[in-house]
A and B are shown apart, each in its own frame.
Chain A
Amino acid sequence: MAEHSQRDEKLLEAIETEIHVRPADDTDIEHTKDVAAYEKINALFAGLRQPGDIPEKVGRYEIRKMLGSGSFGAVYLAHDPELEREVAIKIPHADRFVSEEDEANFVKEARSTATLSDPAIVTVFDVGREGGHCYLVLDYIPGASLEHALQGGTYAPDDAAKLIAKVAKGLHYAHKKGFVHRDLKPGNILLDEEGEPRITDFGLAVTEESQRQLAGQVAGTPAYMSPEQVRGDVHHLDGRSDIWALGVMLYEMVTGRHPFWRGDVQECIDEIQHREPKPPRQIDDAIPAELERIILKCLTKDVTARYTTADDLKPDLNRFRVGSSEAITGILAESATSDLAPIPANELTDAIGDLDLAMLGNGDEDEDSRARDELGPRKESANAKSVGLTLSLSVAVLLPLIAGAIVFWNIAKENKDFQSSQLLETAYNQKFSGVMPQLQIIPAFTRDDGKAWQTLTDGSALTSQDAYRLNLRLDHDCFVYVWQVDSQGKIFWLYPQNPTCDFSSGSNPSLASRGARLPPGSSDGFELDDTVGIEHLYVAASPTRWENLEALLGQMANKMVTKGKVTEPFAMKSRGVKGIRRLPTGDNDAESSDNETSLWIEGQGGAVVQEIWFRHVQDSQ
């Protein structure tokens, strides 16, 4: 009995700490087996949560076994009887598609990736639809992924550079054809039996033309995402985001560490945006300085300061191995054999140029800057083209989102007027009146004693010394979200302040729990005591939780046009709502006896999103 309970406790602890993989050890075979069985059970349950079972045949392909599954879908090993070969078949979850149109888009997207043909890219052979499922037929690459290889330890700088140079070559090819991978990570770099890298999962890739359609559907793995991806800048993604990912991988390969903290998704994302990674040589001083420079250049937060193309990266990677005869041979060999087609003259010249530089530390004009790099820090002006960063949207965009929630806002501010609110409301009515009859915007701001309150809708100026309290009261059990947008278009969460994470669902935890539940009749609120810089405040109340709120807000952040900095004093204006009011001293409703401004929002059910505008006084007339 005692032994049993000890066994239980041990397994419990393994589950608790999530340390499932333990080396088999003679002293505790039982426990190892327990853990293995536990993992198997979990995998079986996970399989059951995938809609549908393992198919036997998809199109003409005979499914042999499941190779893996993830949030995107499942991948199977299959046999193609016509061409007599093994293929990999990827079947995205049917859940990914809401409509026939979605499916058609997927197929279209997949079909376009089938035009990619490069030794460093896993080929898409076929794509189709069957029985409510879409599928993608790919070249089957036996072997492990780079992710798997990294578990075995770090790479020697030379090997890492060689491998990433090959990946960069394939990537450059895809970039030239207009594809951005967007989700490059070690798990998506397969290493075939010869150890040659093959990029896969261009299924998530997006061609430039379809970027617009995909706005807001942010895809990718945060740990390898570039700052612009993390910001949701989907409209402006280009090959340089993939170059960032190459930098992350290279960093990881030589240092054995990820450049950004991965323990917590939010923290990781913050670091990607705001923290410079620790220079690799501080982790291991055996890493060549030039490689460090290459890595850090890939990891430049400013997209314009990164390598412009993946092709620019390749010669740098080859060159840092100065003095290594193997490297020089490598460069020549690569140029000589990289394609079946005759080697274009310029490519050969490039390689020779690299070689020259490597040996002599000299080169043509183009290479001069690179040569200088080796001597000291360089100026980035040459590459600092400002591309794709201008946010210049001038239309009101309405984003229908998620069930039970209605969001609207104004985006057009280029002319610094706020006329578009009317446009928005019209759009709103057109969009939602028929679509969600059960959800209506109700007058969200009410006042219970008009006399007691001085509304602020008259444009009276407020100063930063004013204290505000935002109170929320709903008669309906709702999820409440409040965020503000500052004059720079940056979004800050205000409420809930400390969203708790819920990791139980196994899927995107922090999203699910971001809404604070506000039970009927109760109220909640918080002070805003540093109001400088607030331009917009959004309050949303919805009976359903907004699972993709963050992606949505990212999209919104994208569209925020930078205005002049808000300075005090500024006026506060509400759009078409009543009841933004100044709380006089001594009022009974006051949660605080201070003379503060209170915004009461009272809903009667349904979902509400209200936008409160704080306007710069100088702009208001």
Chain B
Amino acid sequence: MGVSLSEGGFSFNILGAIAVPNTYATATLLLQIKQGDDQAIDRLYRRYQDRVLTAVRYRLGRKLRQKVESADVVQDVLLGALKKVHSFDFRTEGAFLHYLNRLVENRIRDEARHWDAGKREIAKEHQLVGKRSDADGNPLTLQDDHCPTPSSIVSAKEDYAMLEQAMDQLGESNPEYRDLIVTAKLEGMSYAEIADESEKSADAVRMQLRRAMVELTKIFRDLEGNG
């Protein structure tokens, strides 16, 4: 059927109101990298380091998490990846983050396998299970282990520790739920993007995420009750 321009074509308006500069910024930086601008790599790295680290930590679970903290692996992988972004077809921030995270996770898993083969148990190398960062000045650590903090920040920290614990528990019983929450809530991929990747319908993804959130909420409340 024909489309009447005057009626069917809908009038354009600005939604840019809520303009999301993030994607613009990232896309611009990617272009600059592609032109060989090394400073852009640094900027992009700074932009993503914390978020990559956060998402990777949540998805890897308790044991592997320490690998994130103990090595420069995240930095290596991330910088390496950013130098090679030519091959990445940037669509959205979420997809880009997801891509970076997967690279980092895979590398960590590889390393962990290697270490396991060498009979070295990760769990024994570090004692601080569940701690959010190391304190050795690794540029990738989250800055949350400094000296005196106001009580509000402490309580936020406790909340985050509890959230991490809840995510770990969820991951143990239902890794798919945990991964989905990381992908949607931390990486910010859209339902449609997740649907593309998982070969489900966007609606199915949406429902699954909601069920996952129900599970997480219950675990979180149990932990709250115990704490």
Contacts and interface: CB of A to CB of B under 8 A. Distances in A.
A155 B46 CA distance: 47
Interface residues of A, number: 101
B28 to A, nearest CB: 5
Given A64-B150, A71-B18, A98 B24 contact: yes
Nearest to B25: A98
B184 interface: yes
Interface centre among A273, A492, A531 (most CB of B within 10 A): A492
A439 to B, nearest CB: 9
Interface in B1-29: 1-6, 8-29
A276 interface: no
A23 interface: no
Contact of B3 (A42, A438, A528): A528
B214 interface: yes
A44 B160 contact: yes
Interface string A161-173: 0000000000000
Interface stretch (A108-116, A449-457, A542-550): A542-550
A507 B10 CA distance: 22
A313 interface: no
A618 interface: no
A218 B156 contact: no
Interface in A439-460: none
Interface string B58-90: 000000000000000000000000000010011
Nearest to A9: B214
Chain A contact surface mostly: mixed
Nearest to A218: B16
Contacts, number: 266
Interface stretch (A119-127, A264-272, A390-398): A264-272
Contacts of B153: 54, 56, 63, 65
B122 interface: no
B119 interface: no
Interface string A482-505: 011010001111100100001011
Nearest to B46: A132
Contact of A505 (B94, B144, B221): B94
Interface in B171-188: 181, 184-186, 188
A24 interface: no
30 contacts: A12-B211, A47-B156, A48-B51, A49-B188, A51-B51, A53-B142, A54-B144, A54-B153, A71-B18, A96-B25, A98-B24, A98-B28, A98-B29, A230-B13, A403-B27, A434-B35, A435-B31, A436-B31, A438-B34, A483-B12, A493-B9, A502-B192, A508-B19, A529-B2, A529-B3, A543-B91, A545-B92, A547-B92, A550-B15, A553-B12
Given A15-B214, A94-B47, A484-B5, 14 more contacts: A12-B210, A41-B213, A94-B46, A97-B25, A220-B17, A222-B17, A402-B28, A493-B9, A505-B189, A508-B19, A527-B2, A533-B5, A548-B23, A553-B12
Interface of A: 7-8, 11-12, 15-16, 33-34, 37-38, 40-42, 44-45, 47-49, 51-56, 62-66, 71, 93-98, 132, 216-222, 225, 229-232, 265-266, 269-270, 273, 402-404, 434-438, 467, 483-484, 486, 490-494, 497, 502, 504-508, 510-513, 526-531, 533-534, 543-545, 547-548, 550-554, 557
